[in-house]
Structures are given as structure tokens and as C-alpha cells.
Structure 1
């Protein structure tokens, strides 16, 4: 199966918004490869470390909310 990792990254970013707390922090219990790609894309700060949460960049926070609305809001 050919997997579209960009679509996976969009879904992970949207779900990270669901776990938003303390301003721009979100729990980071998602696939490490996807988290790495989001970091490379400049949407989250480095996910590696002991913290159980990750910090969005300003662009990542705005994009995560937009994607959450697109993917999961009832119409």
C-alpha cells in the first residue's frame, strides 16, 4: 500500500489540537515518525525529550485548529 504521509501528518496535527493545553502545548502520544515530520515542517518544536507534551509553533497552532475543523467538525 502506498501511504500519503502528508495526509497522516495533517490528521496527527489536527488531533494534537484536540489535546491542546497551557496555551500551545499538546500531548505527544502519536507516531514518532509523524511527529518528526511535523517538526521538520516547522509546525511543532522538537518532540524529542522527556516531556510528555510538545509545543506548537504559531503556524502549527493555527494550522492544527484549521485541520481539526476541516476533518472533524459536524456539518
Structure 2
């Protein structure tokens, strides 16, 4: 049986930012981000996912990168 695995920690490392910075920019609670980073989150709202991906893309653009982040940069399904 498959499961959801959060990939957000890898994404934050790629951008060289802290979970707290993502929380501030995305306006998502820091505890929510921390739960995702530690793979402890049991659910995610679509609106929260949109805020996180929007913030990741904003940070990427500010760093001069053309990289566009998507859902797989937050979580994946592992079979």
C-alpha cells in the first residue's frame, strides 16, 4: 500500500531557506510547515498547498532562478 511522503525539506534545502522563512512568506503557520518537513502531517488543505507553492516560486524568482515549483516539491506518492 502506498503513502504520501513530504519532500518539502529537500525543497527548502535546495532554496537554502528555513521552514520559518517559508512560513512567513507563505503566511502558513510555522507548526504546519514543521509538520510537513518532519513528515508528520496527516493532511493538507488545497489553499495551504497553493500558498506554499506560490511562496516557493516567489523565493526562487527573488534568488534569480527560473525554476518553477509544483506539488511534487511539497509531497509525492510512494508506492
Higher relative contact order (CA 8 A, sep 6+): 2
TM-score (norm 2): 0.32
TM-score (norm 1): 0.33
Q: Which has the higher helix share?
A: 2
